Structure 1
């Protein structure tokens, strides 16, 4: 039975939402206001991080980052309006003013990064948290100089998933961070893998520091070892459901969306990735029928961004068709973007577990 026929046969409750019908516009002031940890990480703290007892580097990371946060207390060195007319320009801070969390996917880097943001003794308006993509989108919306002016009064800037795939964007953000460091802003970052960088699913600290060139002296690499916590000791993800179950669940779940997976992939090509967060506004669940292998790398990378936004916002995903670990081809999983694809599989699998409770027993 087709998805359309299943929809017509579904219960007469209010029709579910559709991601494919949404083309959100995100104003620049919203981009700035939303530079805080996303809902999934709003309540995390260092003491809610559960280190793997077999990985001492995880426990060490909590101690080091806690100390780093404490060191960010006190008055901002060059805050707007704080400097007297004839005062000397403050000397550049000694020692690293930034930390780079170096580890594979699923070791809790984002949890630790958000915990650092929460632990830093400053008002939320003086701290910023966002992904690399969100930061580049902010520069695109405000312009380089206005972005520098907007962020230069901050105590801390946390950048999750620092993208090193595009040399132009890397240079742009490195230049921005250089200006912010001069203003006394502390930095913290995690990063993604460069094309062609294989290995253990992580981007090595030495490569990260080389790519950001002049900023390397400002970062202290902090290695975090371990396996993907999202699957540590957990049962296997549920198998995909039938189209009928997914459709009926979408109708029975308040705020759920229902979309055909191939059409959703086509729609994502028409929406800028900076708007994928807004695309998911007010959703209670995402229901997808006919999940198929992703056809090409450009489409796959867009799906990775959507998976990240869904995970950040804790939106369950219920699907029919292929299981999520079959989304990406062997060629993709062995290529330069492998870390992104494995992270997407990991996160979508976690969201599939979350969706089990939506299905009528």
Structure 2
């Protein structure tokens, strides 16, 4: 019988939350040299140079800290890589991570907020304050609480000498726009912006260059047959899985899909509400991090987030998740063609 994600109830001890903040396996071998800038997009080569220089600065600051012998640490450096989906921001972020000394951390913005929530603010500061760098992927501010939390965290860490590099598709001064009353938190948002030097990366989403549209869903019968003959795969009803996600803290979603070779979802349909959609976004990120193919019956994966949702404040988050889900669905289609 094919395994189900809904039967998994992963637990992550608090002392492992920071330890698991590392780049996804798909970025284990990336480097500045393996990033191939698009000649038609000069900002990409400029971004590589800026990322290299940032890594050099982090190393210099780290060496300098060792010579201070108890004196006050210098303030950490800050770099903000801004650009659209699929222009290689995470590649450069992981390259920086690989170039600097331990201890260091790499996680998405959502993962970071989950870690702080699980550990408590002061414990999180204590755990991260000795790091050479904190790499934050897909920086985003979805509510006032996150704004205050992250602003305070980054200020504390920067003052303790931790360098910070982040990626996003929203400029620092525009974080929070369209999601809440940003003017009420303008001081905090400006404080965040002041931490970073911003570098823009332009270009089309590499995940969809010259690629066909999303694969068509298959029948439920074929879905079950393929799942049964795919070693390490899981098969779940879409609604049951969405309900199960609501019972787990999002910091556990990565552990939920650990070791899974392919995810088969039955009777996929547009999400019923924002809470369901946002949880599925987090799951999509963890599936993408692990390069796990996704095969579905029912609706296409680019139909999960409704037009109403795409018109709201979480638009960029939903578009990023859709981009990643389509890439994963093509992995599934390629596996089908070779099986």
Please indicate, yes or no, whether the TM-score normalized by the shorter chain is above 0.5. yes
- Where in structure 1 are there 5+ consecutive unaligned residues? 1-14, 192-201
Q: 280, 284, 308: which is aligned to 1:331?
A: 308
Match of 1:106 in 2: 86
Contact 1:241/1:319 (<8 A) preserved: yes
Structure showing greater Rg: 1
Change (3 A) 1:106 1:91: closer
C-alpha distance in structure 1 between counterparts of 2:119 and 2:210, whole Å: 45
Match of 2:180 in 1: none
> Could you say what secondary structure the match of 1:190 adopts?
strand
Q: What do residues 14-33 of structure 1 show as CA deviations (whole Å, max 9, x unaligned)?
A: x2211111121111122111
Q: What do residues 324-348 of structure 1 show as CA deviations (whole Å, max 9, x unaligned)?
A: 1211211111111111111111111
Q: Give the CA deviation at 1:163.
A: 2.6
Match of 1:353 in 2: 330
Match of 1:207 in 2: 174
C-alpha distance in structure 2 between counterparts of 1:215 and 1:289, whole Å: 42
Q: Give the CA deviation at 1:350.
A: 0.5
Matched, 1:158 2:141: no
Matched, 1:146 2:132: no
Q: Give the CA deviation at 1:77.
A: 4.7
Q: What do residues 190-246 of structure 1 show as CA deviations (whole Å, max 9, x unaligned)?
A: 23xxxxxxxxxx423432495533343321011111121100122333211111121
Contact 1:78/1:183 (<8 A) preserved: no
Matched, 1:35 2:47: no
Q: Which aligned pairs between 1:184-333 and structure 2 lie closer than 5 A?
A: 184-191=161-168, 202-208=169-175, 211-333=188-310
Q: 142, 156, 174: which is aligned to 2:151?
A: 174
Structure 1, 281-290 or 209-218: larger mean CA deviation:
209-218
Contact 2:138/2:167 (<8 A) preserved: yes
Contact 1:113/1:189 (<8 A) preserved: yes
- Where in structure 2 are there 5+ consecutive unaligned residues? 177-185
Contact 1:77/1:183 (<8 A) preserved: no
> Cα RMSD (Å) of the superposition?
2.0
Matched, 1:119 2:99: yes
Q: 33, 39, 56: which is aligned to 1:53?
A: 39
Q: Give the CA deviation at 1:160.
A: 1.1
Match of 1:11 in 2: none
Change (3 A) 1:102 1:245: same
> Could you say what secondary structure the match of 1:203 adopts?
coil
Change (3 A) 1:72 1:152: same
> Could you say what secondary structure the match of 2:12 adopts?
coil
Q: Give the CA deviation at 1:282.
A: 0.9
> Could you say what secondary structure the match of 2:33 adopts?
helix
Match of 1:344 in 2: 321
C-alpha distance in structure 2 between counterparts of 1:278 and 1:354, whole Å: 21
TM-score, normalising length: structure 2? 0.90
